[in-house]
Structure 1
Amino acid sequence: MKIDAFSKISDISVYTLRYYDRLNILKPLRVNETNGYREYSSQQLLRVAEINSLKELGLTVKEMAHFFANDSNDAQQIREIADNQIKELRHLINQTEQQIKHIQTNLFLYNNGGINFMNGITIKHTRPFLAATLRTKYQKSSKTYDQFSENIWATLEDGIKNSGGILSSPCLTMYYSGLFLRQDDEYVDQEIVEPITSELKIDKASGISVREIPAEKVASIINNDGLENIGESGNELLKWVTENNYQISGAMREIYHMNPNDSKKLLTVELQLPIEQ
């Protein structure tokens, strides 16, 4: 077939086909000696498929010319090229995910009214934010908190990741009773919370909910020793709220601010108690 027909079938422009001819990447089956017309065979569409595959691997036209000049078409060379491409893409994915997490963290801190790393109790106003949550109860006499919480965070995080979401920091726990509030209750009623930026379709059978955490006026206290003495900080916050004639209007929020240089290391825990007068 003539070059115009082959161009339409292969989706390669006539100009590019001539360029490929000059570089010996894709030469015509024959050239008419009378009129100089290039003629191609439908079998040469297999070479077109190879060219497209090499493009996807990131080879330049000159690299393809060198590759096709080698009759053996070095398979090891192609594997190395593909492996390098995959490594580069994974690096870009990791960089992008880190950028997303950074944006999510800054968004949460904005909605959280910032964070005061100084000691003492402050009052601030939080903004609403979207979150994936898992609310559960456990009997305090039956197990420790660590035993109870071992799997619930994994359940929530897997639900988010399996739905195409990306985990962010900080995350938090909201305590309704049993810890901090109504401490004498036999059961701890809590909700673990992972902030997200968009709606996720999560399997309802998992028990995970996607909802908006409301804006609140809160009294806030910072514990720079992680979870050390967090109970004492909670009691201090409760005492301050009572002494200043505030009413508790929601669940205690325990917010985990991670070390930005080590995402697995807890840097600061902030307790927030919604209040009203």
Structure 2
Amino acid sequence: ILDLRQVVQSAFLRDKVLLGELFQKAGRKELKFLVDSGLSFGFVLGIIQMWLWILKPAGWVLPVGGALVGYITNWVAIKLIFDPVEPTPIGPFVFQGLFEKRQPEVSGEFSEFLAQRVLTSPRLIDEIVNGRLSHNFEAMAKAAVPSMTPEDVPMAAVGELRRLAAGPHDHPVHLYVNEALQLQDTLNIRLRALTSAEFEDLLHPVFEEDEVILIVAGGVLGAAAGFVQMFFGWGGPEVVAESAAAAAVSAAGGAMAGGAA
């Protein structure tokens, strides 16, 4: 009579902000790692980009290089957040994705968020009486009363539940249901008991859409920074013009030398 997956999916589809809040709550340390690693990875890749600019000071090097640096930096950081799923020894070190390594902590934060913001009594009751499987609940309600009871009696009870689901969230019934179900503790225990692979399969898809946005944003911002550097840094357009002129002179000199020969 209750499709929990449908309840969660519907909640996130109706309220995109809710998904963002979950990402920030359960993945705040991973987001911090993304920012911090961007500084270190970006610095290393920026050194490579600088030497490439010195060797070939063409106008396209900075924006293209910046886009690659931003894209690769965010991609590597996100890979380190979720991979490897299982603890993997490499020499004296053991590597594991930051998300999986924090499974006990993330389980608590994730279960708290779902219990308080998603799997609430109003949402659960609404799914039972109005959701895809509501006909099963209606049949159960009819079967629970004596056969001689008029059919409108159990249906009146279902209607009352519909009004309750649409009513105030602080109704005593909702408070009782939230307390009686103890969803937060149950979810926390179940999530902690999962293997690393099961934990990753369950929660990683929640963040996949935002991963793509973060990676693409890194590339776009890197390209924008490259254009700024090209026009306002390292000598600005004058350097680009001088480099182009030097290249043209060198090419012309080579052609003249070849013609004289």
Shared topology, TM-score over 0.5?
no
Structure 1 length-normalised TM: 0.23
Greater helix content: 2
Structure 2 length-normalised TM: 0.24
Say which one has the larger Rg: 1
